[in-house]
Amino acid sequence: MAGQVWSVNTSGGYMYALNLSRQLRMAVQPIVKFRQFCDVKDAAHQGLHRGDTFHWNVFSDVGTQGSTLVETNTIPETSFTISQGTMTITEAGNSVPWTGKLDDLSEQPVAEVIRKVLKTDAKKAFDNLASTQFNSAKLRVVPSAASGVQGTNTSAVTLTTNGTATLTNSIAMGKEHVKSIVDVMKERNIPAYTGDDYYCIAWPTTFRAFVDDIESIKQYVDQGFRMIMNGEIGRYDGVRFVEQTFKSKGSIGTAATAWTNGLSDWIVFFGEDTVAEAVAVPEEMRGKIPGDFGRDRGIAWYYLGGFGIVHTQAAQSRIVIWDSAG
């Protein structure tokens, strides 16, 4: 069987040795950060014979704005439109089986080790599902041209609204770019995530060019802020920055690989109401009923739910991605 066995050192035999440390040491793990920004919806009813599709309504502004009235005229009538977003509820999970012999001979607690490994796997799986939806956003920004060279402007950015960057990004992001992106978001009426602040997520090195200009967490916590997100390192010009190391360079955005400039990579800026998570059955650990007269065992994590971007049209998008065509 696949899984953990006593007879192979790398699969289980190493869990016994004369001088084996009792300290459980796990491999280094990436920082996962996207899922915490999803708007969680209770979809428990989806499992009660109501199908596997979760719906939500998006209401437009009224077609004609109200104004002053003339005493002898009737109040004008208008209307608004309702569009509907959907996501599919799906199962997700993973498992690790092991033999009863390994359990009986190991000095280390096999089930505890496997639970730790599977919890890490589940975190990665959910962050991957969430980040995929963030990456489906329509709004992309690339530095504008400077001196006739595309993608090298140190402040101005060029916006596209079809989900694809058309210019190659050839410069590291700087604080002036942040200001320009904030202007884009405000002028498109993207609501802030919390208070007056937006958020953004990226690799630590992508923030390097302006990290010294970022206001520390301590500074704005002292001003009364209480909600600090995992991985948050500080704030600049109304944007709060979050570091992550799970999604690789080039895995978000138009480019399929890390950017050729070697100076920065994708950054996801966003406000509120971006990606929804519909949860029918929250993630949980499940034990396998022992088989073969108790000789094979296993643990799995299981989840029933889904992730979906809330606003699919560019005009309503709440996400702006610092991108590159290559």
| Structural domain includes residue 11 | no
Band (pLDDT 50/70/90 cuts) for residue 130 is very high
Amino acid, res. 270: F
Q: Domain total for the chain?
A: 1
| Mean pLDDT estimate for the chain | 87
pLDDT in tens, 187-233: 999 999 999 999 999 999 999 888 888 988 777 766 666 678 999 99
| Structural domain includes residue 14 | no
For 294, list phi and psi in degrees, rounded to 5: 90, 5
Domain span including residue 229: 28-56+81-326
| Structural domain includes residue 16 | no
| Structural domain includes residue 148 | yes
3-state secondary structure the chain: CCCECCCCHHHCHHHCCCCCCCCCCCCCCCCCCCHHHCEEEECHHHHCCCCCEEEEEEECCCCCCCCCCCCCCCCCCCCCCEEEEEEECEEEEEEEEEEHHHHHHCCCCHHHHHHHHHHHHHHHHHHHHHHHHHCCCCEEEEECCECCECCCCCCCEEEECCCCCCCCCCCCCCHHHHHHHHHHHHHCCCCCCECCEEEEEECHHHHHHHHHHCEEHHHHHCCCCCCCCCCEEEEECCEEEEECCCCCCCCCCCCCCCCCCCCCCCEEEECCCCEEEEEEEEEEEEECCCEHHHCEEEEEEEEEEEEEECCCCHHHCCEEEECCCC
What is the pLDDT at residue 25?
A: 47
Q: What is the mean pLDDT of residues 276-293?
A: 90
What is the pLDDT at residue 21?
A: 42
Rounded to the nearest 10°, the torsion over CA 189, 190, 196, 201 is -150
CA distance 75 to 79: 13
| Structural domain includes residue 114 | yes
| Structural domain includes residue 289 | yes
Q: What is the mean pLDDT of residues 12-41?
A: 64
What is the pLDDT at residue 17?
A: 52
What is the pLDDT at residue 14?
A: 45
Share of the chain above pLDDT 90, in %: 58
Higher pLDDT pick, 58 / 118? 118
Q: What is the mean pLDDT of residues 147-163?
A: 95
| Structural domain includes residue 8 | no
| Residue 34 CA to its chain's centroid (Å) | 2
pLDDT in tens, 76-96: 999 999 888 888 899 999 999
pLDDT in tens, 164-188: 998 999 999 999 999 999 999 999 9
For 278, list phi and psi in degrees, rounded to 5: -100, 120
Q: What is the mean pLDDT of residues 304-316?
A: 92
